[in-house]
Structure 1
């Protein structure tokens, strides 16, 4: 794959049109997760009315600041967090929360955590760590071959060199590959990866990103990758969804969202990254960081929004950002690029009062293949 084009250029969803749309690999409709009051603070709307689709064979990056609800949404997608309202659908079938239904569902949808050291039991060998899932699902026949195959697909070759090792005998990258092998041992159709390379060195990050792309191409896996790293999204994703305070505020192809962002929040996130237009000033977000226990009225981003702050008094009032609630972005596969903002036209390349972002985020298009995950 060329290092100068995003992952979507060769992705299996690139040529699919709305008329050919199959049931999504994974979909959420109206998903809301409200955590109960705690420590004198009110209930926290961690996820607030999200509609989102992960297509079959697609890599979707979910991007946003810490505390925006990304990880809560990821846990809901794999059935670890039960939503307050809304539903999760696997290939068009709603998830049921009975013990047997959840067990069957988790064989198809696996979670990969960001800290491989914490995810692995230090007292388990690699063999036992990878075999744990198949054993829980009663897949005892051919277990050793299943484990060897999963390790090999995860890039730990020859697998027999790793079977008897313990986590402390592995590098960080090898530990993450063992975690991925544990997911692959169940032959899932969907992987939800929560910050899968956050704890790894730059060179190892590139190797893991290459692995995810290869697994998509060879096995037809669908993957939702949760990250705060826009450069990771550029290097690996077909589409990008940007999350702010429990809501998806912009969604579209990686080229649209990261090269031509329209939502002021997306533009602010991109403005701090190095790129060809290095002389530009980064957009500084003012106000308090997102607080899911105190969601503002109207547009939840308006207290920190540079576009709203730049308006004069009458312009602010006319925009209605403080009183008009924004609609939930649709998960319709034919909807294309969308942005939840009163001040932009989602079909335009740039929002009012600003220019588009030039070049790949963080200079990713100029990075060597082994580093950027595309080589």
Structure 2
């Protein structure tokens, strides 16, 4: 029987480096990440574009082989053999950002949803299981959609079909990479509600990758903030989004439009993170607004190495030696001010 206190999906010291190109240094896209996802939990992974979120997500579903570290499912390391990956992907499924691009335009909806079952040799009761999966994502009656093609569906319906295809194998974890970013604002809320209903009805855990703080606020139990290949802050959604301790998290929150005093907001300056030129010490220090306000001796501490956060399900963790010295962010005090 599964241990409810044990992470269902976990990254331990995970690192992914892409080779150098045209005399450019190698890119350390993921650099020593520890991250744990609990059973039935929704964990939002947020950060700027280029910080390594999508690379980490793909490594955690076995699509990218890490240069260091390991991925663990239910306490056991992922075996990168053909049979090991096949078994792993029965339990951990990826939901991509662009639903239309994820669907074969020449394949009808029945066959698209059934693809995973066929690949795993599970043909018994195929149509019944496809219908059940479509019902689980709110496409009723399912028979109405069997003979349709992706171009005949709305963007929201296409995303539901992609999620239905992931559900047919009975996974325990969904890893969703920007699952609503390509959808109209009018249907984003419906897809987010679907993730919550799948968590409540099926006990699914979900790692949701996004740059949207409103998405995290609306559906996540916990939030992990990523910057330049590492997790810099992790905690419950209330802890991280209402009481941020890392200067980078504060800057992200200050960028959210709200009714707060604009003079109190922090503007994130400097160049975007470059995984081919990672600075020594705290990798955020060249852009850190807090460091500029500190005495020279304290600011020098930022040039030393910073702690790598350990995988944990119930601990507030911050990778900043000056976390307690920063002023509060200009964050909203109710959910109405942070929306998708």
Fold shared, TM-score > 0.5 on shorter chain: yes
RMSD, aligned CA: 1.5
Where does residue 206 of structure 2 map in the other structure? 223
Q: 1:356 to 1:252 in 2, by over 3 A?
A: farther
Where does residue 337 of structure 1 map in the other structure? 316
Structure 1 SS opposite 2:233 = strand
Where does residue 23 of structure 1 map in the other structure? 6
Structure 1 SS opposite 2:306 = coil
Structure 1 SS opposite 2:280 = coil
- 1:247 matched to 2:227? The reply is no
Residues 244, 328 of structure 2: 8 Å contact kept:
no
Aligned mate of 2:307, from 320, 327, 350 = 327
Residues 75, 81 of structure 1: 8 Å contact kept:
yes
Q: Output aligned runs, 1:183-332, within 5 Å.
A: 183-317=166-300, 320-322=301-303, 324-332=304-312
Residue 189 of structure 1: how far off its partner (Å): 0.4
Structure 2 SS opposite 1:106 = helix
Aligned length: 338
TM-score, scaled to structure 2: 0.96
Aligned mate of 2:163, from 167, 173, 180 = 180
Query: How far apart, CA to CA, are the structure 2 residues paired with 1:115 and 1:48?
Result: 27
Q: Which stretch of structure 1 is more off in the superposition, 325-334 or 122-131?
A: 325-334
- 1:359 matched to 2:339? The reply is no
Deviations 1:341-372 (Å, cap 9, x if unpaired)? 12113xxxxx43445634246713xx6xxxx6
Q: Output aligned runs, 1:54-65, within 5 Å.
A: 54-65=37-48
Query: How far apart, CA to CA, are the structure 2 residues paired with 1:362 and 1:52?
Result: 29
Query: How far apart, CA to CA, are the structure 1 residues paired with 2:261 and 2:143?
Result: 49
Residues 275, 361 of structure 1: 8 Å contact kept:
no
Residue 286 of structure 1: how far off its partner (Å): 1.8
Query: How far apart, CA to CA, are the structure 2 residues paired with 1:270 and 1:356?
Result: 7
Residue 214 of structure 1: how far off its partner (Å): 0.2
Where does residue 123 of structure 1 map in the other structure? 106
- 1:157 matched to 2:131? The reply is no
Structure 2 SS opposite 1:127 = helix
Aligned mate of 2:96, from 89, 110, 113 = 113
Aligned mate of 1:171, from 135, 139, 154 = 154
Residue 194 of structure 1: how far off its partner (Å): 0.1
Where does residue 33 of structure 1 map in the other structure? 16
Residues 46, 68 of structure 1: 8 Å contact kept:
yes
Residue 104 of structure 1: how far off its partner (Å): 0.9
Deviations 1:97-148 (Å, cap 9, x if unpaired)? 0001101110110000010011001000001100000000011000000000
Q: 1:355 to 1:70 in 2, by over 3 A?
A: closer
Residues 259, 360 of structure 1: 8 Å contact kept:
no
Residue 227 of structure 1: how far off its partner (Å): 0.1
